[in-house]
Structure 1
Amino acid sequence: MGDLKSAAKDINGHPVTTTTLNSSDRLRKIDLLRERNIGKLLPLPQLVAVGDQSSGKSSLLESLTGIPFPRDHKLCTRYVTQITHRRDNHSHISITIIPGPNASEEARERFASYGKEVQSSAELRAQFSGILDEVNTLMGIRTSRNPTGNKTFTADVLKIEKCGPDEDYLTIIDVPGIFRLVEKGVVSESDKILVRNMVKEYIKDSRTVILAVLPATSDVFTQEILALAEEYDKNGERTLGVITKPDLLMEDRAKAAICDMVNGKTKPLNLGYYVVRNRGADDGEDLDAGDDSLAQRELIFREDPWCHLPKERLGVAALRDRLQDLLGQITDRCFPLVRLEARRMLAQSERAREELGEPRQTEREQQKYLSSIAGNFQTFARAALNADYSVHESFGSDEIRLITNVANITERFGWEFKNWAHVYSFEDEGDEESEDEDESSSSPQPPRAVDYEDLAPEEFPELDGILVVDWTQQQPNEGIMEWIERIYRRSRGLDLWTYSSGLSSSVFREQSVKWDLMTRQYLSKIILVLHRFVVRTLDSICTDEKVRDELKSSLMHDLLERYEIGMKQAVFLVSVEREKRPYTLTGDFHERVQESRGERIKNDLRYWKPAESVELWQVESTVKNKHNTDNTKEDIHDKLDAYYKVASKRFVDNVFRQAVDHCLLSGPTSPLLAFTEQWVIDLTAERLAAIAGEPRLVKENRDRLDKRIMDLKAAMKILQ
């Protein structure tokens, strides 16, 4: 808007700046941009002639351009006509068709093969009617000579380029005239709306000068085109009024009203009004007669009241000069902005095209696309297992820091298992732990690295049936010796030297009854963080929602089976430890038993003389004074305590190494290996298409972006 306003100031009292030396080159480049439909992407400086039907618009364009529009040939108004003048050593007039922005590829090829060239206006006048018939047929316009046409109006553009050594650069775009009445079988109410929308589309851009053609014989204030111009140019900064048919005015009052408009007294426009007299439909003059015939028509401007108007506002020559200067000024001012906007739009379009990824129409394209996603997934998985969180910004989220979450959960499991997995507390649990105990496991407070509430199992209902979601824990009970005595009395026989061989298995099985639940809880948490990693990673690397959903659906069955393998392995390890006869080859067991017995004797001796040395008879008395049942209970306790510690450590390590690490993280059944490039290759063509096939709308969007990018790249070359 600002460009046109600056140009208008030159019209209203300031010296008119002539077109700069490089304006012709820039105007030519703008014309080339228009041919590539760049004007549909960003506003280009242009002159657009608009008017109601019978406003004299065709006659005006004929006077301005020298193009002999056929009289009473209404069909040329069914589409936009671009009339371009260009300086050239050789005089000729060429006629081509610019496909509309939504033209089919077949139509584009058809238009590209069409072209006419004549040497003069007289030759064009002789052939123009037939040429228009050919153009109408190519565009599919329905006429009496082309009854099979399927269009009344079209967005395709008829381009007429007039070249010659005396031509000054000027391009005017003529849009179909607005009509109020419909004609059955010719134009309909929908056609009327279509034309209005077409006019609006051309005049809405801020760099468009609206050449509003207004017949003097009609009340200018009721002209619909002026109302439309005001809708998009509220301050009249880029509307130039052209009043035609002044010779048909008879009343002085009507002539005075026109003069008031030209003088800016009524309905003022920033670019002002011009008064022209065009060749009438019945005028028989030859256009090639040149300035003589034009001068004859414009003798009217020597008469009253026209002679009192500024000469620079009267006649075709004055209007043409002003339009050339105006178009040159606007183009010079807009050209850097057009180049900047084209570059910005190209970058935006390329980003949008990149987000769509590669085409996915053929089986090969679909495999390539899906394999790329699988490769990225495996890269993420390896990085997550190695705690290499620098490879991608997505690892900023704690949810996909997989191995860190596994380590934290496992550390917490180790602490919970050591402190809470046995039903009864052993007698020595209050004593100081030996130096070889794991420091983190013996800590009185549990590790706080994991907040289990954040795992949110309800977010993944597909895991129902695999997970244990009740994660509450119960601390061990007191009274282990009473419990052992109950079991012993319930199981003993008449053998005086030993107790039943099954008693060891019974006490261990009952003392470890919580192992199954706690192990399932642990595996559930590992499976949750693993599944969350898979889901979040797919969300991160697969931007296409449809593909992402299909991928998850296709992988889910295999993922659930792999989770169950890990859970079953953990449960199997529980059954091996609890159901089989207690046994170990490690020397720790016997050492622990002897240590427990020695510690028990030492504690008993403290009742004698805690601060003095102990004599042998006191040791003998301490051992002899115990009842046989007490000795048995203590023996069972010490052996259970020793074996339980050996077995629980072995079990915790095995659960992690076999069920978690091997089954779920790094082994061949790991869920992280469910989605690989080989999995993609093994898909059937039908399943591949269902997952990675491109929706029609995406394909259309890609095709649209491809064309836009191609046009904008061409535009950037033109604008260099």
Structure 2
Amino acid sequence: MGRTVDGIGTTMSLESLQSDEQRLVLDTVAQVRKCGLESILALPQIVVCGDQSAGKSSVLEALTEIPFPRNDELCTRFATEIIMHRATVDSLTIRIIPDENRSGEERQSIDAFVASIIDFSELPEIMDRAMEVMGIRKAGVQPSAFARDVLSIEIEGPSRPQLTLVDLPGLIQNETKGVTKADVKLVQEITDRYISQSRTICLAVVSATNDYANQGILSKVRKVDPDGERTLGVITKPDRLPAGSGTESAYITLARNEDIFFKLGWHVVKNRSFEEGNDSFLERNASEATYFRTSNFKCLPKESVGIDALRERLSRLLFEHVKQELPQLHSDLSQALEDSKTQLATLGHRRATVEDCREYLTQLSLNFHRVCAAANEGHYEGPSFRYDTNEAFSTHSRASVRRLRAIVQKMNAHFSDILREDGHSYHIAKSGEPQAEVDLSIPVPSPATKPVHLSRIQAFSWVSNVVGRNRGKELPGNFNPLLVGELFWQQSVKWPILAEAHVEEVADVCRQFLTNLLEDMCPKDVISRLWSLHFEEALKQRNDAASNELGRIIYDHKEYPINYNHYYTDIVRQCQKEREQDRLATAIENATSHTLLPGCRSDHTSAKIDIHGALDGFNRGSEPDMEKASCEEALDQLHAIYKVSQKTFVANITTQVVERHIVRGLEDIFSPIFVGRLSDADAQEISSEPASCKRQRDFFQDRIEKLKSGHTILRRVMKTTVL
């Protein structure tokens, strides 16, 4: 690179363009880009886009003063990234950034392409070679018209400004000879991908030789940037318009930002004419300056016309844009770095030998056992239990399920509520409630429905039918002692179904908890093998044990209820007491008389209670029908045994089934003890590392190195720059 600036130098128009602060900030993004972070983060950039033959390449050439080959429109076949920055020596290096969908072999071939030149005259030959590498030109083979790869041109020099531009292939409206429908679609996709990025400034180029309403790039940028906050319009070829014509007036109006409004405004440049094709950049700039001094476009502000003003405008615009985006870019980069570290940690250390595999499994089991035990005990400390407070706490939330003890407690409480509110077949009206004329037929309850409401009369009819079916040698007014058991079984017929559903739901949540925990700790291939070789069977054994325990409880439930809790007799007495109180209140009300006070003009009365009448009324109020009296007593006993048994049933399901067999000891499924008992063959079978895992580790290690470099660069510039 020992040639003078004559080889790849610049005109004086590129010198003294930026302040030290501008160079520092723009150089920061250039260095971050150089770290290879384009595929990881959206970096601030200026993208030159427009329809085919809009003059994009000429604008780019004038901005960068790089004489791109003009024949065959070579620069429009792929995206071209041009990175300019200041250095003590002139240099130009060309690389190709392969498309991410390329195969590994293709990527290696493309990555290997690096070329440096010392004179612009060498550029056409280098670009021909680059196109061959990208598959655009191959001898004896029909060439592809376009490529998704990116040609990267890095040019340095003492008079170069800090500026990065990306030139996109021109939008094609229709198929032509050598351009297929797939090519048209590909160019659309490339343009959309670049201009849709939130940190991209769109340099939308339109040609004055065509009605701007028909140029597709304007509709595209307005779609992705409806408020025009990051779009600068550029009008080319104004010298092709007839002076004083309506078309010229329309384009002057457009340049004034009075038709299609962009917050960044519009700019007008004059490209070389056909006759000026061989002019130097100095001659080109002088011709442009003369045009804007003498044409009707002289009415526009000086900062809105000409290539020098555009370059300065873009440099300032990119500087302000980058300066604004740096804090968020730093935050995004930090998050990407943390995510990559987490992904790499999940892969673990390399696992090539038996010792590697056993060491990996031991450490994995230690981590698993620690977090699982903490979740089971309700000790929610550390990053494993981060919880988004804005997210509803439910079994559908991954963060909620991680707090296993809390979610199981919530599910048990819900089970208790369901059994209390909907677990009974019949909701029986209390004694003394108003009785309407009702159909005495008893609806058949369904396990899937809410409790059926029965009036007191319907309840007596239901009990009377059961009494009749169970009649033995007992005297009139009494009932078979087994009657209460049959009523209880009918009233609690939903319990087994509700209990089975609850146990299954808790088992599913525990299974999801274990799955999520493993996903956070180890790669998918290890999870798959560990699950099929161990977890599946371990969970099946626990579920089978829970199912057997539940079966025993349900079997006991179907036996005649046994109770030694005095709460049962308290409830029966309370039911009888309430009915007696109702009878006494009615008798007292009926035995009370009211008389006006003598000599008093108000309606105040004196109340007098006939004690004997009240007692007589109370005694007459007792149920004379022995059959009805026995039904009343049976309902009291049913109510009492149901309440007592319901509490016992809930306690048995949650303690003896859910806690004993589903939740307790969940952390012991995968512990260091289990790993220690594995044979060498089993340890390798579970944790040996496939080739894809090795590639993933290399990928994340490379990404972390890039992110660390970018992080260091951004942190350094943010300390020295006032943002």
Give the TM-score range, shorter chain: 0.5 to 0.7
Q: Deviations over 1:13-64 (max 9, x none)?
A: xxxxx95522212212212322344233333221110011111111111111
1:147 aligns with 2:126: no
Contact 1:80–1:174 (Cα < 8 Å) also in 2: yes
Q: SS of 2:206's equivalent?
A: strand
SS across alignment from 1:38: coil
Q: How many angstroms apart in 1 are the aligned matches of 2:299 and 2:87? A: 39
Instruction: Indicate if the aligned counterparts of 1:56 and 1:215 stay in contact, CA closer than 8 A.
Output: yes
The residue type equivalent to 1:130 in the other structure is: E
Which structure 2 residues correspond to residues 129-168 of structure 1 after superposition, within 5 A? 129-141=124-136, 143=137, 145=139, 147=141, 152-168=145-161
Q: Distance in 1 between matches of 2:237 and 2:513?
A: 73
Cα distance between partner residues in 1 of 2:214 and 2:326: 36
For residues 228-239 of structure 1, what are the structure 2 equivalents within 5 Å? 228-239=220-231
Query: Which residue in the other structure is 1:172 paired with?
Result: 165
Residue identity (%) = 31
Which residue of structure 1 lines up, in the alignment, with residue 219 of structure 2? 227
Structure 1 residue 35 corresponds to structure 2 residue 34 = yes
* Residue from 327, 341, 346 that aligns with 2:332: 341
* Deviation of 1:693 (Å): 6.4
Q: Structure 1 68/283 Cα, relative in aligned 2: closer, same or farther at 3 Å? A: same
Matching residue's letter, 1:348:
D
Change in CA separation of 1:69 and 1:353 when aligned onto 2, cut-off 3 Å: same
**CA distance in 2 between partners of 1:26 and 1:374 (Å):** 47
1:397 is the counterpart of 2:395: no
For 1:699 and 1:187, locate their aligned partners in 2 and report how far apart those are by CA, in whole Å. 41
**What is the CA-CA distance between 1:79 and the residue it aligns to?**
1.8
Amino acid in the other structure paired with 1:78: R
Q: Once the two structures are superposed, what CA deviation does each residue of 1:253-292 show, in whole Å capped at 9, x if it has no partner?
A: 31111111112221122111111111235534343xx423
Q: Is 1:206 aligned to residue 201 of structure 2? A: no
2:681 is paired with a residue whose SS is coil
Contact 1:400–1:532 (Cα < 8 Å) also in 2: no
What amino acid does structure 2 have at the position aligned with 1:158?
L
Q: Of the candidates 167, 178, 192, which is equivalent to residue 184 of structure 2?
A: 192
CA offsets, 1:475-496, max 9 Å, x none?
A: xxxxxxxxxxxxxxxxxxxxxx
Q: Is the 8 A contact 1:375 1:677 kept in 2?
A: no
Contact 1:23–1:331 under 8 Å retained in 2:
no
Partner of 2:711: 716
Identify which of 528, 542, 556 aligns with 2:518. 542
Q: Distance in 2 between matches of 1:353 and 1:29?
A: 27
Tell me by how many angstroms 1:221 deviates. Answer: 1.5
Q: Distance in 2 between matches of 1:46 and 1:399?
A: 48
| TM-aligned CA distance change 1:77 to 1:559, over 3 Å | same
1:217/1:248 contact within 8 Å kept = yes
Q: Equivalent residue for 1:85? A: 84
Alignment of 1:351 with 2:359, yes or no, is: no
Matched, 1:296 2:287: yes
Cα distance in 2 for residues equivalent to 1:377 and 1:87 = 53
Paired amino acid for 2:167: D
- The alignment partner of 1:155 has SS state of coil
Shift of 1:703: 5.9
Q: CA deviation at 1:719?
A: 1.8
Contact 1:50 1:213 in 2 (8 A): yes
Change (3 A) 1:700 1:300: same
Change (3 A) 1:136 1:299: same
Amino acid at match of 2:293: R
Aligned partner of 1:676 in structure 2 is: 674
Q: Which letter does structure 2 place at the counterpart of 1:397? A: R
- Out of 271, 274, 293, the residue aligned to residue 278 of structure 1 is 271
Per the TM alignment, residue 243 of structure 1 is displaced from its structure 2 partner at its CA by 0.7
Q: Counterpart in 1 of 2:492?
A: none
Hey, what does 2:361 align to over in structure 1? 370
Alignment correspondent of 2:439: none
Q: CA deviation at 1:307?
A: 2.0
Is the 2:88–2:157 contact (alpha carbons within 8 Å) kept by the matching residues of 1?
Answer: yes
Deviations 1:129-170 (A, max 9, x none): 2111111122233x2547386x55333321222322222222
* Residue aligned with 2:38, SS: helix
Kept after mapping to 2: 8 A contact 1:238/1:270? yes
Could you say if the C-alpha distance between residues 291 and 105 of structure 1 is closer, same or farther in structure 2, counting changes exceeding 3 Å? same
- CA distance 1:360–1:257, shift in 2 (3 Å): farther
Gap runs ≥5 in structure 2:
1-16, 386-401, 410-503, 550-663, 716-723
SS across alignment from 2:202 = strand
CA–CA separation in structure 2 for the residues paired with 1:381 and 1:59: 64
Q: 8 Å contact 2:404–2:513 — kept in the other structure?
A: no
Partner of 2:659: none
| Distance (whole Å) between structure 2 residues aligned to residue 339 and residue 382 of structure 1 | 37
CA distance in 2, matches of 1:91, 1:673: 63
Give the direction of change, closer, same or farther, for the CA distance of 1:227–1:683 in structure 2 (3 Å limit): same
Task: Give the aligned partner of residue 319 of structure 1.
Answer: 310
Q: Which amino acid aligns with 1:26?
A: V
Q: Give the 3-state SS of the residue equivalent to 2:20 in structure 1.
A: coil
User: Structure 1 residues 25 and 399 mapped into 2: Cα distance closer, same or farther (>3 Å)?
Assistant: closer
> Which amino acid is the alignment partner of residue 247 of structure 1?
D
Deviation at 1:171, TM superposition (A): 1.6
Q: CA deviation at 1:310?
A: 1.7
Match of 1:507 in 2: none
Kept in 1: contact 2:362–2:672 (CA 8 A)? no
Does the CA-based 8 Å contact 1:48-1:173 persist in structure 2?
A: yes
Aligned to 1:243: 235
- 1:536/1:346 CA distance change after superposition, 3 Å: closer
Matches of 1:48 and 1:557, distance apart in 2: 56
Q: What do you get for the CA RMSD once the two structures are aligned?
A: 4.5
1:180 partner amino acid: Q
Gaps of 5+ in 1: 1-17, 402-527, 568-664
Check conservation: 2:42, 2:199, Cα contact below 8 A: yes
The equivalent of 2:642 in structure 1 is none
Q: Which has the larger radius of gyration?
A: 1
Q: Does 1:331 align with 2:322?
A: yes
1:407-446 counterparts in 2 under 5 A? none
Any conservation in 1 of the 2:48–2:56 contact (CA below 8 Å)? yes
The CA distance in 1 between the partners of 2:372 and 2:41, in whole Å, is 45
In the other structure, the counterpart of 1:606 is: none
Give 1:75 deviation, angstroms.
Answer: 3.3
1:525-567: CA deviations, max 9, x gaps? Answer: xxx9xx999979965863355345313367559979x99xxx9
Deviation (angstroms), 1:213:
0.8
TM-score, length-normalised on structure 2? 0.55
Residue number in structure 2 paired with 1:571: none
**CA distance in 2 between partners of 1:293 and 1:138 (Å):** 33
CA offsets per residue over residues 410-469 of structure 1, 9 Å max, x none? xxxxxxxxxxxxxxxxxxxxxxxxxxxxxxxxxxxxxxxxxxxxxxxxxxxxxxxxxxxx
SS at match of 2:276: coil
The residue matched to 2:69 in structure 1 has which SS?
coil
User: 1:295-346 CA distances to partner (integer Å, 9 max, x unpaired)?
Assistant: 1244222334122222221211111111111112212222233222211221
Alignment of 1:445-456 (within 5 A): none
Q: CA, structure 1 residues 83+682, in 2 after alignment: closer, same or farther (shift >3 Å)?
A: closer
TM-score normalised to the size of structure 1? 0.55
- Counterpart position of 1:60: 59
**CA shift in 2, pair 1:559/1:379, >3 Å:** farther
What residue in structure 2 maps to residue 26 of structure 1? 25
